Amino acid sequence: MSHYLKWTCTDRKAHRAAGAWIVTDDHCAYSAFNGYHYSSSDYCAVKCLICGRTWRTKAKYVDSLRRGTREEALKP
């Protein structure tokens, strides 16, 4: 599941420290394979509120991130 992702953020460390990264889906997935229904997962979905980029990860740093609202997750 690894691939190259281009960042538009100029300073990822600063954005993370400023609280711009939020967890949008905490240890779950909504995949086409299960009809977009909730299923448990080792991965979390994370979003940068500055550049709008989203990604999925199972890295330990997600435990220190704020859990976002559905409205924040859907904002462009």
Q: What does the DSSP 8-state code read for residue 68? A: P
pLDDT for 3 beyond 70: no
Residue 51 lies in a domain: yes
Closest CA to 75 of 61, 57, 54: 54
Phi/psi for 70 (5° steps) reads: -65, -35
Do residues 42 and 63 make contact, with C-beta atoms less than 8 angstroms apart?
no
The answer as to whether 7 is a domain residue is no
The strand order across the sheet containing 66-67 reads 54-57, 44-48, 21-25, 66-67
11-62 per-position pLDDT tens digit: 777 777 778 889 998 998 888 888 888 889 999 999 988 888 888 999 998 9
In a domain, residue 19? The reply is yes
Q: Give me the number of domains the chain comprises.
A: 1
Domain housing 64: 12-74
User: Would 21 be classed as within a structural domain?
Assistant: yes
Can you give the pTM of this predicted structure?
Answer: 0.76
Query: What pLDDT is attached to residue 27?
Result: 92
Q: Residue 18: what pLDDT?
A: 75
Q: Confirm whether 55 is domain-assigned.
A: yes
Residue 72 is predicted with a pLDDT of 81
Residue 1 lies in a domain: no
Q: Domain for residue 3, yes or no?
A: no
Domain assignment present for residue 4? The answer is: no
